[in-house]
């Protein structure tokens, strides 16, 4: 038996998946529970009959799950939120890399644990890659995915700026993908050395 708790921000695709799965699996094999991490996620993790907890989520949540699961020696599998880098070396084709990153970074609204969330480029390709990558990211349209004139990438959420919301008529106003240029390679986290383009 599997108990699946999707993100409280994006539960609809999981609920639809469970409807389709119900046509294949016997009743009770796949169970979906929606709600906030606390109390719903906490209840799953601490339940005595749960033998394994798997999380795709934040480092803080992963640490909490590991501590809570240790009390009953539950097995734990964690895919923790990080910033999956794409490393670009001097011999790469900047146009091909930019085209690939346009998909790898923003496909599925960026809601993928393997999304290329940052780019690390060697000095020899940095400027050429930036010339290709900034317009590639800027070409993405954001908004309500069902509308024919819009792309499917929406990167805005009022609750947490790091999360993404599905487009809908009631969704918050969408923000365009942000391209940072003129970033010093030695820039440290939290510095204000970038400008938006």
CA–CA separation, 195 vs 184, rounded Å? 11
Among 79, 107, 131, 132, the one annotated catalytic: 79
Relative to beta strand 52-57, strand 180-181 is unpaired
Among 113, 131, 157, 165, the one annotated catalytic: 113
**3-class secondary structure, 91:** coil
113 counts as catalytic: yes
Q: Which secondary-structure segment (H or E) carries 181? A: strand 180-181
Residue 73 zone, left/alpha/beta (φ > 0; ψ -120 to 50; rest): left
180 counts as catalytic: no
Catalytic residues: 79, 113
């Amino acid at each position: 038996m599997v108990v699946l708790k999707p993100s409280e921000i994006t539960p609809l695709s999981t609920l639809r998946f469970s409807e389709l799965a119900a046509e294949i699996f016997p009743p009770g094999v796949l169970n979906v529970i929606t709600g906030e991490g606390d109390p719903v996620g906490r209840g799953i993790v601490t339940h005595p009959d749960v033998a394994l907890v798997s999380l795709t989520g934040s480092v803080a949540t992963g640490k909490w799950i590991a501590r809570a699961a240790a009390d009953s020696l539950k097995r734990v599998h964690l895919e923790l939120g990080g910033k999956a880098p794409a490393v670009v070396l001097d011999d790469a084709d900047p146009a091909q890399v930019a085209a690939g990153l346009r998909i790898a970074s923003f496909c599925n609204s960026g809601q993928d644990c393997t999304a290329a969330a940052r780019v690390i480029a060697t000095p020899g390709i940095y400027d050429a890659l930036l010339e290709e990558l900034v317009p590639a990211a800027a070409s993405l349209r954001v908004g309500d995915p069902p509308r024919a004139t819009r792309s499917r990438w929406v990167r805005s959420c009022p609750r947490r700026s790091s999360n993404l919301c599905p487009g809908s008529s009631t969704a918050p106003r969408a923000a365009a993908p942000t391209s940072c240029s003129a970033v010093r390679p030695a820039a440290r986290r939290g510095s204000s050395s970038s400008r938006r383009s």
